[in-house]
Structure 1
Amino acid sequence: MAVHTRHPAGAPPSAPSRESTGHLLLRGYAVLLLFIALATSFWFNLLGAAGLGVLVGVTTIVSIVLWAVLRPPIVWRLLPWLPLTYVVWAAASVLWSAWPDATALTWALLAATTVQALFLASVLTWRELVAAISSALTWIVGLSLAFELWVSLVVHGPVLPNFLLWDGELVTELYWSRDNLFDGGRIQGIVGNAHLLAVACLLALIVYAIRIASSPQRRAWFIGWSVVSAFLLWRSSSGTVWLALAAVALVLATMLLMRTTRAPGERTKYYVAYAGLGILGGIVLWLWRDDLLEFLGKSSDLTGRGGIWQAVAERAAEHPWLGWGFSTPWLPWVPEFDGWIIVNDLTVFHAHNVWLDAWMQLGIVGVALLGLSYLAVIWRAWFFAIDRPRWDLRADRPYQALTLLPTLVMTVLLVQGLAESRPLGEWGWLFLVLFAHKLAQSPHVGEGPAEQSLAIERGEALRRMPR
């Protein structure tokens, strides 16, 4: 006979697990680190060189302390050894550097960026990482639009770094904002450079598209920010970024096509077809390069870059194997750089090409290490995107949109590196090291010792793994 009781056998209901306050603060700190890397020039214009140095130094120390306290699980043999070897080689170049002080100072920035990249990849899951990048880019896009509106509606004139105003004639490259929002000119946003703003907007469009595909419930929010990013991308009008956008679209279409294959050898025909199209496209671009550059608003020498490349190549050829010594960027007060290459009455502070810059600074050895670093990341990122997630006998797990991110970002870096040297530092180097580390530690979303997704999402303490 059934007996009623006030003492059921089941456990009483409880509230669902939530993230701990500490982990929420960690995610907010990660957004700050990414914002600093993606908008380094904003902090330079706001705080000056000394203030930026203090900010980088303090955040690096905080990250090291947090890393020591959290002790996220890491498989040490899977560290990104190629990028780390490049960093070591850059440090060693102080022994033969023609500008040892500049080498030591800029290497400290490189080392700090490397530490932050390893830290972010170690303490965040793939989903958290994409969310943090999205938040950082949203701050850049939103503040850029607000800043340009403030300059045009309140200041009614150009603004110099540190919010200085100037009534006289100055070189336009010195302005933080040129007050071009309503006159049809190129806008620069909080980063103070039209090209950097365009790159940030392109990255934002990539990340927002991934968030839309991954989070349908927030689709309207990300569509709205995509519209703002597209507007700023159009108004910043960077020819290099337009090429990067075309490359991203082509790579994205290729990856989605590769995902449709079923048989193991079915991809071979696509690889052969794309190789042929790539060769044909390269020939077409070369034959009609002048028309293409004119369409993009560039001269035949890419707005003075031809002269810069020639001067850098001539200097690099004098020390082809070891280079002249690391310095990214070129510090304009160093005698060897001051007045060496002048464009628009200003000393140029990088070679406007990643590979030429690396050759001049670290020689053929440095170029080889950098090239191998890119190759290793792109190789892992490509199969991370096009292969179904599989770590057991099950072969029907669905694809995830966020796995496309590393390959698309690396595409942007490769195209940008043809006309800019910024991928050697700041956000470019951070993303290279971050993806190299994350792809090795967590080759599948939500799986692997470095991911620990359930423990992090529920706010539990990170499980320590044997080292």
Structure 2
Amino acid sequence: MLFTAFAGTAWVNAFGESITAAIVIGAGVVSLALWAVVRPPVQWRRLPWFVVAYSVWALASLLWSAWPLASALTLLLLFLTMLQSLFVGSVLTWHELVRAVASALKWVLMLSLLFELWVAVFVGVPLLPGFVARTEPVDPIFYWSRDNLFDGGRIQGIMGNANLLAPVALLAIVVFAVRIAARAPRRGLLWAWIVLAAYLFYRAGSATAYVAAAGTALVLVTILLMRRTRQPGERTRYYIGYAVLGLGGAAALWLWRDPIFTALGRSADLTGRERIWEIVAAKASERPVTGWGFATPWLPTDPAFDGWIIDHDQTVMQAHSVWVDVYLQLGIIGLVLLGFVYLAYAWRAWFFAVDRPRWDLRADRPYSALTLLPSLFGTIVLVQGLAESGPLLAWGWMLLVMFGAKIKQSPIVGVGPAEHSAAIERGEPLKQEP
């Protein structure tokens, strides 16, 4: 399930939409069945309720949706993703969860490299979805692989999109580094995986991912500084400095976006995104409160989206911004609910990372490196969401729900019923805290 979320459109490019739908729905059915059999301990009162509220509002939009079929199909995808997120988070401990995420990322990275190598060595020409070799040139946006591995161009991996490969590679660097810091076994191999992820990240050449990497580094440094404080008041200056750097960096990025994005090989309008935002915002303003109906992603087969916005002779399937997309689909109410989703997640993930594990009078327990991951992941999706709608589906939404629910269910790594269930199932003795 995690591999499918990270691989994104790889299944569609390889086998088509019908087989992909069967795989996704089948995985959801299996998850539900296993959940009923395993019955992991779940505190139902501690679910991520803002996620539930957002999802309920999305479901309610069926009542007024301008594209009801697209709403129904994409709502099925939304709820299947949520089901799988909660299932994986409930049956795995924090250590198992991070290890599973790392394993899925390894598969995606290695298959992406092998796929590009296979195209370069054995196919020799760009490849279209369905394993169709193309000798006559078409717009590169249609290619599954552009056969760029050896010519220095951007590579797209099994996703068929460099803007999807880059954030996954960035997340992989973070996950592998966290596992190394947590003293996972075979750390030498993890360093090799970091090298591979960094190579794919660089070759994907995504400007949004570069900005996300800078933001992730800033958040990591801030968390580590917070952990060094001894008195509550000491954190105040770090909060002020963090806010100044964050807001100042965002303002500088916007004001000097022309030279910055030109240096990154992108246009100042974010490769046509500003034009898309203007068109979508104009339509959203016609129904500003409730929106036009949930549709994530936009289905190009629906008459409402087919030919509505064309880019490189192809129907656009997203607004290229989480916030613009939600404004179109669910209106101001949806924007407010999603804002609370991200705010609640950021709040819990932040203090999960910066506060020492504590459930009694002892206040000197060591930090766990695993607690860094939710905040660093949140930074990636928040930055990516400024210029992409990807965080609203696939791994962006799955990990947001999964980590958010896991923090509420197991706020301390290795402590609590949800952290002991897997060990009990294997018949292992539980470690008692001294």
Q: TM-score per shorter chain, which class? A: over 0.9
Alignment of 1:342-357 (within 5 A): 342-357=310-325
1:428 paired to 2:396: yes
| Cα-to-partner distance string for 1:220-248 (whole Å, 9 max, x where unaligned) | 10001111111111111000000000000
Name the SS of the counterpart of 1:450 in structure 2.
Answer: helix
Identity percentage of aligned residues: 59
For residue 199 of structure 2, what is the aligned residue in structure 1? 231
Check 1:291–1:459 CA distance in 2 against 1; reply closer, same or farther (3 A cut): farther
* Residue segments in structure 1 that go unaligned for 5+ positions in a row: 1-32, 463-467
* Gapped regions of structure 2 (runs ≥ 5): none
- Whether the 8 Å contact between 1:188 and 1:236 is mirrored in structure 2 is yes
**Is 1:284 aligned to 2:256, yes or no?**
no
1:456: how far off?
4.6
Q: Equivalents in 1 of 2:35, 2:251: separation in Å?
A: 49
Match of 2:342 in 1: 374
> How much has 1:284 moved relative to structure 2?
2.6
**1:161 is matched with which residue?**
129
RMSD (Å), alpha carbons: 1.5
Aligned match of 1:197 in 142, 165, 169?
A: 165
| Alpha-carbon contact 1:315-1:360 (below 8 Å) kept | yes
Q: Which moves more between the two structures, 256-265 or 170-179?
A: 170-179
Structure 1 length-normalised TM = 0.90
> TM-score under structure 2 normalisation?
0.97
Is 1:394 matched with 2:362?
yes
Find 1:384's aligned residue among 338, 352, 356: 352
Number of aligned positions between the proteins? 430
The 5 A counterparts of 1:266-285 are: 266-285=234-253
Q: Partner of 2:408 in structure 1? A: 440
Q: Name the CA distance, whole Å, in 1 between partners of 2:262 and 2:216.
A: 22
Q: Which residue of 2 aligns with 1:27?
A: none
Residue 454 of structure 1 deviates from its aligned partner by: 6.6
Q: Distance in 1 between matches of 2:189 and 2:424?
A: 25
Is 1:264 the counterpart of 2:232? The answer is yes
Q: Is the 8 A contact 2:125 2:146 kept in 1?
A: yes
Shift of the alpha carbon at 1:453?
Answer: 5.5
Q: Bigger shift: 211-220 or 453-462?
A: 453-462
Amino acid at match of 2:375: T
Q: Report whether the alignment pairs 1:136 with 2:84.
A: no
Mapped to 2, the partners of 1:345 and 1:174 lie a distance apart of 9
Cα deviations by residue, 1:97-117 (Å, 9 ceiling, x for unpaired): 000000001100001000000
Per the alignment, residue 220 of structure 2 pairs with: 252
Equivalents in 2 of 1:248, 1:457: separation in Å? 36
Select 1:206's aligned residue among 170, 174, 182. Answer: 174
Aligned to 2:262: 294
Q: State the AA in 2 paired with 1:366.
A: G
Q: Tell me, what secondary structure is at the counterpart of 1:416?
A: helix
The answer to whether 1:126 aligns with 2:94 is yes
Is the 8 Å Cα contact of residues 40 and 421 (structure 2) preserved in structure 1?
Answer: no
Supply the distance in 2 between the matched residues of 1:344 and 1:230 (Cα, whole angstroms).
Answer: 29
Cα distance change on mapping 1:236 and 1:359 into 2, 3 Å: same
What amino acid is aligned across from residue 386 of structure 1 in structure 2?
Answer: V
> 1:180 is matched by which residue type in structure 2?
N
Deviation at 1:258? 0.3
- Does 1:36 pair with 2:4? yes
Distance 2:57 2:47 in 1: 17
1:441 Cα deviation after fit: 0.3
Q: Secondary structure at the match of 1:451?
A: helix
In 2, Cα distance between equivalents of 1:205 and 1:278: 22
- From 107, 110, 121, the equivalent of 2:75 is 107
Structure 1 position 394, deviation (Å): 0.8
With over 3 angstroms needed to count, the CA separation of the structure-2 counterparts of 1:72 and 1:460, relative to structure 1, is farther
Residue from 438, 445, 449 that aligns with 2:417: 449
1:361 equivalent to 2:304? Answer no
C-alpha separation between the residues in 2 aligned to 1:37 and 1:188?
Answer: 16
- Distance in 2, matches of 1:64 and 1:128, equals 20
| Deviation readout 1:146-176 (Å, 9 max, x if unpaired) | 1111110111111111211222232211111
Distance 1:310 1:140 in 2: 35
Letter of the structure 1 residue corresponding to residue 153 of structure 2: G
| Structure (1 or 2) with the larger CA radius of gyration | 1
Deviation per CA, 1:6-57: give whole Å up to 9, x if none: xxxxxxxxxxxxxxxxxxxxxxxxxxx1000111211111121111110011
For the residues of structure 2 that align with 1:386 and 1:89, how far apart are their CA atoms? 33
Please state how far the C-alpha of 1:217 moved relative to its aligned partner: 4.1
